[in-house]
Structure 1
Amino acid sequence: MQYVPLGRSGLMVSRVAFGNSMTHGNQIDDDTARACVHAALDAGITTFDTADAYADGRAEELLGRALAGQRRSDLVLCTKVGRSPRPGPNEGRLSRKHIHDSAEASLRRLGTDHIDLYQAHRWDPHTPLEETMSAFADLVHSGKARYIGVSEWTADQITAGAALARELHIPLISNQAQYSLLWRVIEREVIPASDRAGVGQMVWSPLAGGVLTGKYRPGAEAPGDSRAVRAQGGARSMNRWRHLDDTVLSAVAALDPVAAKAGLTTAQFALAWVLRNPAVSCAVTGASRPGQLTANLPALDTGLDDDLVAEADRVLAPVVVDDPAMAGRAPAPAAPSPA
């Protein structure tokens, strides 16, 4: 495993982080979830990412139990606030009330006294940014959070948040965004703005929700155990990509021989491509069984040849999404109902 600073901070993260957004408490049983976490630890992964919204808090609980007994100082524990699915007028926000309430609940579920990286889970247009950043500052100054990050913020939002963080003397160090060979919307605006602010990219879905593993083939049914057909959230996750059509799947199939020239599987090539970007500190990957996680780690030891990268770009060019206007696109919290 390799370890690098997250953004321009002193926090060292593993280049591959383990994330449990679509698995723990949802698609796999608890014993398998625990086995996946232990496989990550055995592989040298120190960075674990979750959120209070995943499986309505069960993902945090399962991760906390799976990590119990590990030396806490060896771990970088990351969670998020701001997309709670629970009903209530103050839920799912980045208000002072919800941030503090959610932090306390996350600490209980994770079984820890501090969160290493506490992230704003999407922009909240209904709460003043000053209120959000001030609440985060409270948590940092009290020791309940060590560092602050954001997820899927636009370039302008990152710039504004980083300016306030500097005023409040708190470390805003990361943006967690979608990024893959197929989804490149952060390249033109978000990454340059982040670089100027000292914010590193902690990217999620580097394998495009499994599309870049090569398991989905044009004209063929999706495998029965794949995410695309899972009843609990998998199909919705895949639909986000708009990638399960023959045009995209044919382009991804054409990537197989390119990856083979590098001595890699398509999934390994896709992960190596993401980590090749100097703006990317780490890539968040999940697993529904331990072998999935370890199978892709050879990507860490591979430097991709420029000619192969150019060939991959040519193969995928017709299906790549790179419009910077798509950055930060996600359902926002609903506006408060009038009294």
Structure 2
Amino acid sequence: MELRRAGRSGLLVSSLGLGTMTWGRDTDEHEAAEQLSLFLDAGGTLVDTAASYGDGAAEALLGSLLAEVDRRDVVLCSKAGVRRTSSGHRLDASRATLLDTLDESLAALGTDHLDLWLVQSHDPEVPPEETLSALRHAVATGRTRYAGLSNHPAWYLGYAAANLDADATGLTAVEVEYSLLERSIEHEVLPGAQALGAGVLAWSPLGRGVLTGKYRSTVPADSRAASPHLRGFVEPYLTDRSRGVVEAVATAADGLGRTPLEVALAWVRDAPGVSSAIVGARTATQLRGVLAGSDLELPGAIRRALDDVSAE
């Protein structure tokens, strides 16, 4: 698998990343162990998690598995800034919560440092200076090697890049949703990240699973759209517009002798500015399908056709 720089930094990440959002909840320890083994054997390095995934279950499960592999083989990314309260999850990007969460993440993951630490989402209640001070402190104290942002508006990226100290590695990466069904980052976030030298980590490159074609005729009983806690995550993409894009992807896949999953993933993975496309497979079988497409390079004509049919 190809290794790429995260933007203009020295951090190398695999062109595909392994997401762990379902670990500890929909993905048990046996499936997770097989996924990690398959991913590393395929040359993957970037493993993405968050303190909020499964209310900590994902980090705990990943930590138990990392004890069985060479830590140097893994580029470990986690996120903080969303915490659970008695009334549900809420944003909290305060310095105290971020740094407390980071220490809890390190303990759960069984490591003394992250390779990349991200603020998970923009918290409008906390001044950017305070949030950024936590990133600077985390790098300065060695708890993370690099720092960045996830799901933040373009103006925040610019502010962060201007105010993170150069000797603290600056703004290394930006993690955002990006797929043929969600291209809004192309207006400001993607060009902003490129101009600032930050690598883009694209989450949900398969359009929350819709671009695999699994929902073309029905909703499978074992799919995310049929899951009580993930139905709302998928439903926004079960629209007439999405169906048109899915059919175009399926047509391209038929012409290439590949699967819709492989075509949709290759489109994101090789888009300008993207350092890695993060795929969260629920099962090891699903991950095998993802890894099977790592060699696909889309012909220019097909890429342009998909650009046109999915334009926002």
TM-score by length of 1: 0.87
8 Å contact 2:249–2:264 — kept in the other structure?
no
The CA deviation at 1:53 is: 0.6
Distance 1:170 1:305 in 2: 36
**Mapped pair 1:237 → 2:233:** yes
Residue deviations 1:292-327 (CA, integer Å, cap 9, x gap): 11212243322211211222234x34xx5x4xxxxx
8 Å contact 1:200–1:281 — kept in the other structure?
yes
The equivalent residue for 1:302 is 296
The CA deviation at 1:39 is: 1.7
Distance 1:88 1:237 in 2: 20
8 Å contact 1:176–1:204 — kept in the other structure?
yes
The CA deviation at 1:249 is: 2.4
Structure 1: runs of 5 or more not aligned: 323-339
Q: How does 1:250-329 map to 2 (within 5 A)?
A: 250-314=244-308, 316-317=309-310, 322=312
Distance 1:299 1:129 in 2: 40
**Greater mean alpha carbon deviation, residues 295-304 or residues 8-17:** 295-304
Q: How does 1:1-339 map to 2 (within 5 A)?
A: 1-21=1-21, 23-87=22-86, 92-166=91-165, 169-217=168-216, 220-231=217-228, 233-239=229-235, 242-314=236-308, 316-317=309-310, 322=312
8 Å contact 2:136–2:165 — kept in the other structure?
no
% of aligned pairs identical?
A: 39
The CA deviation at 1:253 is: 2.4
Distance 2:88 2:167 in 1: 28
Distance 1:254 1:127 in 2: 43
> RMSD over aligned Cα, in angstroms?
2.0
Residue deviations 1:197-252 (CA, integer Å, cap 9, x gap): 111100100001110001111xx331111111123x2212113xx12135522541
Distance 2:154 2:186 in 1: 10
How many pairs were matched up?
Answer: 312
Distance 1:44 1:291 in 2: 17
Q: Secondary structure at the match of 2:200?
A: strand
Distance 2:44 2:278 in 1: 11
Structure 2: runs of 5 or more not aligned: none
Distance 2:188 2:113 in 1: 32
8 Å contact 1:275–1:281 — kept in the other structure?
yes
Residues 266/222 of structure 1: CA separation in 2 closer, same or farther (3 Å cut): same
8 Å contact 2:80–2:120 — kept in the other structure?
yes
8 Å contact 1:3–1:14 — kept in the other structure?
yes
TM-score by length of 2: 0.94
The CA deviation at 1:161 is: 0.6
Distance 1:39 1:102 in 2: 29
**Greater mean alpha carbon deviation, residues 25-34 or residues 49-58:** 25-34
Matched AA of 2:276:
C
